[in-house]
Structure 1
């Protein structure tokens, strides 16, 4: 990912949220969420941290030079938190998410990360199924979210 990808990250996030959460959240809620959580300044900072191998891994998947998905993990000591994994809706169920997750996990394992945690809306059945197929287990429930965890080292 580079600074030039920021607008496309926002676009992918918006498309994914509108498709994934259309029956859960209002369009107004989604737009407010995207505006707040996907500001250009914040994304530029996160991409820069990833480029400098600091506490973030931020990867994109491209098809014919077009961003079709991205993943972001935050690293803290021996733990990682999967913050974002979004795809353009037309690229779901094609293995793109699995590849992004696998690439990101390889990078965090090189930093001696022992486990990864994530939060996913309990009504986001597609994502929940995806994460279970990729080794995550439900650990707890926090409000409307399932807390899922995957251990890399025992």
Structure 2
């Protein structure tokens, strides 16, 4: 299954929303009720917010927003906010049928290449403490739990170049 990873464009917005919705329903079905998930998707994945982030990514303006594609169809995405020396991994989601195939790792590795060029020395993320799949993925990829913030684990990965 050939995969391409590249910056997302405005044409990808509807696919991003669909991937987020499917992933949230699959990942959080035993954590949140359907109404909460739908409200979260509507609020955090509005077309306007996503388009703004895509434009910032294309302009290299503090956002990395990459998609993974199979035959030009988006199947996953990663988004990071970039500071001077620190990044925050905001989102990493795949269509459920594409999980456990190494695609998440490929997205993370591609983002890490960009972070290296920008001199990023640490990346943090927040993951729900009951999201065992996400926690396992991040630990496998070098992130460590630093502390708990409400319902989230705060995880961090340091980079030495």
Please give the TM-score of this superposition, normalised by the length of structure 2.
Answer: 0.94
Q: Which residue of 1 aligns with 2:4?
A: none
Q: Which residue of 2 aligns with 1:149?
A: 156
CA distance in structure 2 between the partners assigned to 1:95 and 1:124 by the alignment? 18
Q: Which residue of 2 aligns with 1:108?
A: 115
Alignment of 1:41 onto 2:48:
yes
Secondary structure at the aligned position of 2:148 is classed as strand
Of 66, 86, 89, the match for 1:79: 86
Q: 1:30 offset after TM fit, Å?
A: 0.3
List per-residue Cα deviations over 1:83-129 (Å, max 9, x = no partner): 00000000000000000000001101110001000000011000100
Note the residue ranges of structure 1 that are not aligned, 5 or more in a row: none
Of 113, 121, 130, the match for 1:123: 130
CA distance in structure 1 between the partners assigned to 2:83 and 2:50 by the alignment? 19
Count of residue pairs the alignment pairs up: 154
Of 50, 53, 59, the match for 2:60: 53
Over 6 Å off, 4+ runs: none
Of 22, 33, 50, the match for 2:29: 22
CA root-mean-square deviation: 0.8
Secondary structure at the aligned position of 2:41 is classed as helix
Note the residue ranges of structure 2 that are not aligned, 5 or more in a row: 1-7
Secondary structure at the aligned position of 2:89 is classed as strand
Q: Which residue of 2 aligns with 1:2?
A: 9
